[in-house]
Amino acid sequence: MQEKGNISIHTENIFPIIKKFLYSDNEIFLRELVSNAVDAVQKIKRLGSLGQFNGEVGQPLVQVAVDKEAKTITISDNGLGMTAEEIKKYINQVAFSGASEFVEKFKDAKDANEIIGKFGLGFYSAFMVADLVEIQTLSYQEGAEPARWVCDGSTEFEITEGTKTTRGTDIILH
């Protein structure tokens, strides 16, 4: 499995604009990525309690690891994980209504938190601090294959077969 493509956005050059807004609060990326990881862990627990996931939920885990030698920060969880199709749906489509309105409304905004919260852009805050963002993930769904997503902050991405052997997601900031 290998796929290359472009992240779907409604306004050309939206990434630089997003980065500009987010740049004012450098720590926001960590809060957003940890929040996403916590959500994934809570969702797998909920599926387990509803009987929609019969596997071992295990002890909830959200971990942040810094590798100074490799110059990476990794945010890991043992939550839902994602399939390649879910990556395409949730990561590759910056899908908010009225991107032009977004740009106009917030071009002079001072509060990055307001922007991120309203438009679900938290994941993309990773590009504030990383030249390359990598996702290694394995979905909870029976028979799911591990998937790997890589993007350098442009609108181009690559999805390939992943190497993750346990349920959950690793977001690796290079």
- Whole-angstrom CA distances from 2 to 75, 90, 152, 158 are 24, 18, 17, 7
What are the beta bridge partners of residue 158?
A: 4, 150
pLDDT band at 117 (very low <50, low <70, confident <90, very high): very low
**Is this prediction's pTM over 0.85?**
no
Interatomic CA distance for residues 32 and 17, integer angstroms: 18
Structural domains in the chain, sorted by start: 2-51+62-173 (3.30.565.10)
Task: Note the pLDDT tens digit of each residue in 74-114.
Answer: 999 999 999 999 998 888 776 444 444 555 655 565 554 44
Distance CA 92, CA 163 (A): 20
Give the C-alpha separation, 12 to 119, whole Å.
17
